[in-house]
Every structure is written in C-alpha cells, then in structure tokens.
Amino acid sequence: MKISLIQMNSINDKAANIAAARALIERAVAEESPDWILLPEQFDWAGGVKGDKARNAETLPGGPAYSMAQELAARHRVFIHAGSLMERIEGDERIHNTTVAFDRDGAEIARYRKIHLFDVTTPDGASYRESATVKPGDAVVTYDCEGVTIGCSICYDLRFPALFQALADRGSQVIALPAAFTLQTGKDHWETLLRARAIETQTYLCAAAQTGAYSVNNETRQTYGHSLVADPWGLVVAKASDGPGVVSTRLDMGTVERVRRMIPVAEHKRAL
C-alpha cells in the first residue's frame, strides 16, 4: 500500500487553501501514484477573526473543500483521507472539526469529528481555545481501505492514548492523524508522541501536518510541520522537510503482523 502525506500552510483564505490542496494532491498523484492520500487538519482554513470559521464552514456532504477531495478521489482512482475541514452544525454557532474519507469512486466511506479539543496555553504564552468555536465529536471511527483497517484521529487526540487503544481494538492497522501542531508543542512532543502511539498500538501512525505561519486576530502563529510515518516498531520511515510538500512511502501490513506476533500486547492486556 503506497501512501502520500500532504503538508500545507493553510491561511485565512479558503479558496487559496483549496487550490493549494488540489495542486499538492495532483502533484502526489503525478509523481508517486499512491493508493491513499492524507491531508492535514483544517486544510481548508486557518486563523482569521471571530466568526470566520462559522462563516466558512460547509454543510456536509457538499461544499467546495469536500467536493474538491471527492472529485480528485474519483478522477484519480485514489483513496483520499481529507484531513479535516469545517463542518457546519445546524442551529449551533460552533462547528465540527471533521475528517471525511473517500474511496476510489469518490464515495464517502468515513466521517470522524474531533473528540479532544485544544484548550491550552503554550510555553510562549499563546492561548488556544478550540472549544469556543468547535463542538466535540463522540464516536470512534475506522474504515476499510481494500482490506486495511484505518483508524481516525485529529491533532490533539494524539495526547489521549485511550482513543488509540480503542482504534486498535477495532482492528486498525493504520491510524491517520491530520494535525496542526503548534511550533512550541511540536518541537518537543510531536515525534515522541507519534512514535509512542505507534508502539503502543502496533500500527502505522501516519501524520500529515500544517507548517509555517498564519494569522489570528492580527497575531502571527506558527505550526510545526514535520509530517511523518512511524511504523509499528516506532521507527520513523518517512518524514517531510520544511515547507508545503508531499512525502510518500509504502506500508507493509506484514510488518504489523510480525510486530504483533513478537510482542502480543493485545493478548496480554488485562482489565484494571
């Protein structure tokens, strides 16, 4: 199974973000011919001012970001795990931070709404309150990709091992993590957490990230980038360089089976 991770620098311009995502997907298809493509968290929007997220959210199915991913999945006969986009909620000023996955025919095969919301203060003093604009989801979601079970997570979910154990318990061999990790947290925690979740679940952890600067209420913030794939042994087998781009690799489900035979943690798990 060949995969491509898309690394982006999304800003507060939805049309520009969708065009950038389209161009990078087209590049991945032309250069790498992947079976599966992963976009980063909120590839359709970053930053802006109060109310921008709600104004630019989409009613699913449909909307320009959703339709772009669906169209390219069908045209290029490739699975597209569309990172996350802003989903409008009827009767609520908040939105969902939502992953949508499409199969080779462009059919929607999974929808996951981010469960854990980023309400933190980073070491540089910046305050993030995702729950002010986003309503959390409550469902654990996996889907089938031609015999490979893929689990869904988004960004801050990475810090909650119970979700990843639940995905593994549901048969996940690959876990997708679209993200927009901050520079401050990413430089110290990003790779360590990804490798840990891969080791714990004995899955491939595929993480596509936002990189670079964006503006929130005239304040410039930085995302960390460094999209990567960690294998079931916790080794980093692919990693993006700085800036927007594409990183690709092949996933071997035989590696998942071998690691699980060597250290059968699922069999050794005990109720506490």
Of 53, 87, 145, 155, which residue is the catalytic one?
A: 155
Of 14, 41, 152, 206, which residue is the catalytic one?
A: 41
The DSSP secondary structure of the chain, one letter per residue, reads -EEEEEEB---S-HHHHHHHHHHHHHHHHHHH--SEEE--TTTT---BSTTHHHHH-BPSS-SHHHHHHHHHHHHHT-EEE---EEEE-TT-SSEEEEEEEE-TTS-EEEEEE--S--EEE-TTS-EEEGGGTB-------EEEETTEEEEE--GGGGG-HHHHHHHHHTT-SEEEEEE--BHHHIIIIIHHHHHHHHHHHTSEEEEEEBEEEEEETTEEEEEE---EEE-TTS-EEEE--SSSEEEEEE--HHHHHHHHHHS-HHHH----
Catalytic residue check, 269: no
Catalytic residue check, 145: no
Catalytic residue check, 41: yes
Of 53, 114, 145, 206, which residue is the catalytic one?
A: 114
Joined tokens for residue 191 = 């790779």
- Please list the active-site residues: 41, 114, 155
